[in-house]
Amino acid sequence: MRRQVATENFLRAYEKFIRKHPDLVQKVEEMMDGLAADAAPIPSHRLRGNLSGFRTARISQSYRLIFALEPGIIVFIDIGSHDDVY
């Protein structure tokens, strides 16, 4: 299991996100736990450009979770709409 770390930016964005989208909280938490599990395949893709080195996972058609993988650690960077996080 990877250790989960969240940036301050992520924590602010997550708080705002869950206030606006309480229906997605369980899905986001399950996704974060799944991403942290070493054995689970990561349903994500690598980003390019300004966000090179980060990965993104799709929460829904409109919302994304941005994170970085480091040995033994997953760092959550941002969460929000497609336009907000890119």
**Please, what are the domains in the chain?**
3-81 (3.30.2310.20)
Strand partners, 76: 6, 67
Q: Tell which wins on pLDDT, 61 or 41.
A: 61
How high does pLDDT run on average in the chain?
A: 92
Query: Is pLDDT above 80 for 11?
Result: yes
Residue 22: CB partners within 8 Å, gap ≥ 6?
A: none
pTM beyond 0.85, yes or no: yes
Query: Is pLDDT above 70 for 50?
Result: yes
14-41 residue pLDDT tens: 999 999 999 999 999 999 998 888 766 6
H/E element holding 15? helix 8-20
CA 85 to CA 60: how far, in whole Å?
A: 14
Going by C-alpha positions, the residue among 40, 35, 26, 42 that lies closest to residue 3 is: 35
